[in-house]
Amino acid sequence: MLPNIKKITHRRENISAALLFDNFESPSFSSFAEKEAGYLKEKMASENEWTVFKQPLVFFFHKAKEGKAAWLQAESARQAGSKFYDVLKTEKITSLQIIGSSKNELTLPFLEGLLLSAYSFSKYKKEKDNYAPAEIFVLDDRVDEKKITELETLTSAVFCARNLVNEPLSYLTASRFSEEMEKMGHEAGFSVEIFNRKKIESLRMGGLLAVNKGSIDPPTFNVLEWKPENARNKKPLVLVGKGVVYDTGGLSLKPTAKSMDYMKSDMAGGAVVAAVLYAVAKNKLPLHIIGLVPATDNRPDGNAYVPGDVITMFDGTTVEIKNTDAEGRLLLADALSYAKKYNPELVLDIATLTGSAEIITGTQAFVGMGNSNENLLRLKKTGEDVYERMVEVPLWEEFAKPLQSTVADLNNLGVREAQTSIAGKFLEHFTDYPWLHLDIAGVAFLQEKDFYRPAGGTGFGIRLLYHFLKKFN
């Protein structure tokens, strides 16, 4: 539950506050005695953040760091908002105000960091951890009601994705995942069409069907669409998300510790796609956007697909299976081929695809690649703006060689070295349009809290794609 956020034109007395400023001349010290105000000004000369307790009130000060780029200033403000949230939670503060007087426009990112920190997943706990302030007042002439509403909607979308990623397989089967996306569509106003097993079989989506063979639960293929009458793009933008609701590795079984135990998060890409459609539709962006989410779990049943099998994909490509734990690319390949029917302007797929992506970036960035350099540059810039950063890797022709097979058109693994690029090269085979691939394996699920990114599902990629799409064309 998000706080009630209101714009104000004058500072309120007797309420906790965050003050965002550039220098010691700008903050107001009306709540402090003369000696206290003098002490605070001395602190400002050498420090950038500090908290003052005047029970029952709390005052948080954040000073912009001189010489930092605007996008780094914004991230410092988000992290400061997260720190302030932790103080508010400890002190159980219900009402606060944010007073922005910095020329660096810190108020909105500060509020964003605070709101994104107000998330918890307590569904399965007896003792709930659901603290959030009841009301927040915003005093900053450059922040209007429209921007606040947009941020609230985007935060809600992030929370939806976090909830989906945190749900265990005992609840979130592929069918239930589809139902949750239907609910999101009903609430936000986008359509959801769900293909059942029979429909998937009729379409001959061999990648999705192969991965599903070991499961007792049926697969789904989900088509999400937002098409407003005022859409400014004549050809749709297509988002493709990996929807593996649990990945054991199949018969190429993963180790349990530090590998399989959090594989409920392997559908994070699909959750991101659904959440982006939710935010886009709720905020009524004038864009025609389609989301494709193939969904199943990957289990080692007696009828599961095995290394050595040859499967036929949706587009007719035959693939030799070298490893059943390289399953995500099979689902995505079917969806990428299906996307051709829309004659898309651009396709972006997002997936927890390779462990090597996490080795490249750790928990700090996603790995990006694609065949559209202009859009890659735009994606990187947007990633800096929202601090969901990209490390680009190449798609050289040499990376296609390990995917050759003696018995089929391709194999699904390649070699260990450069695996993130090789996986991207596999996906590229199924595209004939401008395309970007986002590997979020290192950032979709965290073991420990990192400021406004919680332990568990993070919703990484939603803010990035929303703002990327918002600026499209």
Provide the pairing of β-strand 289-298 with 220-226.
Answer: antiparallel
Q: Is 323 exposed, middle or buried (0-12, 13-18, 19+ CB in 10 A)?
A: middle
Report the C-alpha gap between 154 and 467 in whole angstroms: 10
Q: How remote is the C-alpha of 26 from its chain's centroid?
A: 36
- 218 close to 295: Cβ distance less than 8 angstroms: no
Residue 204's identity, in one-letter code, is R
Report the C-alpha gap between 214 and 130 in whole angstroms: 38
Q: How far from 423 is each of 197, 401, 442, CA to CA, in Å? A: 26, 12, 15
What strands, in cross-sheet order, belong to the sheet with 310-312?
310-312, 318-320, 410-411
Other CB atoms within 10 Å distance of the CB of residue 122: 10
Report the C-alpha gap between 286 and 105 in whole angstroms: 26
Report the C-alpha gap between 192 and 53 in whole angstroms: 50
- Which is the catalytic residue, given 43, 254, 340, 470? 254
Residue with tokens 């927890």: 352
Beta strands in 166-274 (DSSP E): 191-195, 220-226, 237-241, 243-247
Q: DSSP string spanning 185-209?
A: HHHHT-EEEEE-HHHHHHHT-HHHH
Q: Read off the tokens for 428.
A: 């590229």
Q: Read off the tokens for 104.
A: 């660096």
- Which is the catalytic residue, given 329, 425, 453, 463? 329
Whether 453 is a known active-site residue: answer no
Q: Phi then psi for 169, rounded to 5 degrees?
A: -60, -30
Q: What is the largest CA-CA distance in the chain?
A: 83
Q: Read off the tokens for 86.
A: 């932790």
How many CA within 13 A on the CB side of residue 134?
Answer: 5
Length of the chain, in residues: 473
Helices 373-386, 70-91: inter-axial angle, 10-degree rounding: 40
Q: How far from 182 is each of 176, 212, 350, CA to CA, in Å? A: 10, 22, 20
Whether 78 is a known active-site residue: answer no
How many CA within 13 A on the CB side of residue 70?
Answer: 9
Residue with tokens 């402090």: 32
In terms of Cα–Cα distance, which of 73, 77, 160, 142 is closest to 111? Answer: 77
Give the residue numbers marked as catalytic. Answer: 254, 329
